[in-house]
Amino acid sequence: MAQRFDAAGATPAANLFSRVFTWRRRQLIVAFLFVLPALINFLTFRYIPIFEAAYASVFEYSLLGGFGDFIGLAHYQRMLTDPVLWRAFQSTVMFVVYKVPLQIVLALALALYLSRQSIGTAIVRSAILTPMVTSLIIVSIIWAMIYHSQNGLIQSILLSLGLPKVAFLSDVNNAMPAVAAMMIWKDIGFSFIIFVAGLKGIPEMYYEAAIVDGANRWQSFRHITLPLLRPIMMFVIVTQTIFSFQVFVPIYQMTQGGPLDSTKVIVYYIYQMGFRFQEMGYASALSIVTLVILLTVSWLQMRVLKVDE
């Protein structure tokens, strides 16, 4: 009797709670609470700054003087006649062209070679992944010392081989390839991990069937590995292109945009305009245009590399 009374007394509230908070809704609420910190982080440090930058781009604005006069699209019109900006875009594109294709090819080759466990594989994997978890500013300092035109490690190796010294960071033609080579060494571990995971997801029976049909290694790679790695390839290409467009630390540490602006990429130019020349309104406009370019390039890459349903 007591149990029936208690159940009858709790029935209205319990029914209301169960109707409002169904099992499915409770699961969604719990999942939302788990992702809420990430959403707050993105909102606070990504989306709000984007809107603030768009707002600042239509004003005369500096960090010291604050907001000045409303000038509309004057900053965007200024970009059309800014020769330094176009050189910065050119340098950025050259860095992407130097870094992304070569890094992807090397990472895929290493993943294919090291995807199967063998003697020494763990050591080689550790050597590939160690630069990825090393501080970029520390790596930039070390590589600047290695590239030093007089006392660098590479210069010593060249002299020991009877070859002349090479000016890496102080030569217009060598500076950008030198920075790109350092960044390939630094970031190749990321692409390597993604490719290894993708290769592990390809069923072995496909290769066994190909061997039965008489396919050689190249044919198996071309007709099985590459098509099944296409989603992974799209992810790596898009993310590495975005990361390469945002390169800043090695340029700031190793070359300061020189020599003769040959390594002045767009993010370093934005930094100069905003923090050195106190033209934060123009820097904000540059950042908005860079964002639009990155979104467009990423969309085009995903369209071209889209995996058929």
Mean pLDDT across 265-282: 93
Q: What angle do CA 288, 293, 172 make, to 5 degrees?
A: 100
Of 39, 55, 71, the one marking the end of a domain is 55
Looking at 38, 55, 72, the residue that finishes a domain is 55
Whether 305 contacts 286, CB under 8 Å: no
- Residue indicated by tokens 């039965």: 212
The pLDDT, as a whole number, for residue 78 is: 93
User: Tell me, what DSSP letter sits at residue 67?
Assistant: E
State the SS3 of 199-263.
HHCCCHHHHHHHHHCCCCHHHHHHHHHHHHCHHHHHHHHHHHHHHHHCCCHHHHHHHCCCCCCCC
Confidence of residue 124 (pLDDT cuts 50, 70, 90): confident
For residue 120, pLDDT beyond 80: no
- Tallying the residues shown for the chain, one arrives at 309
Which tens digit of pLDDT belongs to each residue from 37-75?
Answer: 999 998 898 889 899 999 999 999 888 888 888 998 999
Quick one: 134 and 193 in the same domain? Answer: yes
pLDDT at 13: 60
Mean pLDDT (whole number) for 241-256: 93
Note the pLDDT of residue 200: 87
Q: pLDDT band for 77, please (50, 70, 90 cuts).
A: very high
Q: Are residues 169 and 258 in the same domain?
A: yes
Owning domain of residue 164: 82-304
* CATH number of 299's domain: 1.10.3720.10
pLDDT for position 7: 46
Domain-located, residue 73: no
- The whole-number pLDDT of residue 54 equals 92
Instruction: Look up residue 309 and give its DSSP letter.
Output: -
pLDDT tens track for 172-223: 999 999 999 999 999 999 999 999 989 888 888 888 888 888 888 888 888 8
C-alpha 284/C-alpha 303 separation (Å) is: 29
Asked whether residue 31 is assigned to any structural domain, the reply reads: yes
Helix, strand, or coil here: 62?
strand
Whether residues 42 and 145 share a domain: the answer is: no
Residue 115 has a pLDDT of 75
Taking 90 as the threshold, does the pLDDT of residue 118 lie above it?
no
Q: Which of 75, 104, 115 is nearest to 207 (CA)?
A: 115
Q: How much is the pLDDT for 5? A: 43
One-letter amino acid for residue 269 of the chain: Y
Predicted pLDDT of residue 125: 81
Cα–Cα dist 273/247, whole Å? 16
For residue 91, tell me if it sits in a domain: yes
Confidence of residue 306 (pLDDT cuts 50, 70, 90): confident
Q: Do 32 and 157 belong to one domain?
A: no
With contact defined as beta carbons under 8 Å apart, do 264 and 276 qualify?
A: no
Q: Is the same domain home to 261 and 197?
A: yes
With respect to residue 279, please indicate whether it lies within any of the assigned structural domains: yes
Q: Indicate if the pLDDT at residue 95 is higher than 70.
A: yes
Are residues 179 and 31 part of one domain?
no
* Euclidean distance between CA atoms 213 and 208, whole angstroms: 9
103: helix, strand or coil = helix
Q: Which amino acid appears at position 1 of this protein?
A: M
Residue type, position 183, single letter: M
In a domain? residue 67: no
Least-confidence region, from 14-18, 83-87, 128-132, 241-245: 14-18
Task: Give the pLDDT of residue 307.
Answer: 60
Instruction: Please tell me the total count of domains within the chain.
Output: 2
Residue 61 lies in a domain: no
Q: Reply yes or no on whether the pLDDT at 1 is more than 60.
A: no
What is the value of pTM for the model shown? 0.85
Q: What is the mean pLDDT of the chain?
A: 87
Gap between the Cα atoms of 229 and 109, Å rounded: 13
Confirm whether 75 is domain-assigned.
no
CA distance 20 to 38: 27
φ, ψ for residue 63, nearest 5 deg:
-65, -30
Residue 203's pLDDT is: 87
Say yes or no: 35 and 176 in one domain.
no
pLDDT tier at 20, thresholds 50, 70, 90 = low
Cβ neighbourhood burial of 192 (10 Å; 0-12, 13-18, 19+): buried
Same domain, 92 and 47: no
Percent of the chain with pLDDT over 70: 91
The pLDDT assigned to 18 comes to: 66
Taking each helix axis from N to C end, the angle separating 83-114 and 230-245, rounded to the nearest 10 degrees, works out to: 140
Q: 13 with 113, same domain?
A: no
Is 191 among the domain residues?
Answer: yes
In this structure, the answer to whether residues 167 and 287 fall within a common structural domain is: yes
Whether residues 118 and 263 fall in one domain? yes
| Residues 93, 31 within the same domain | no
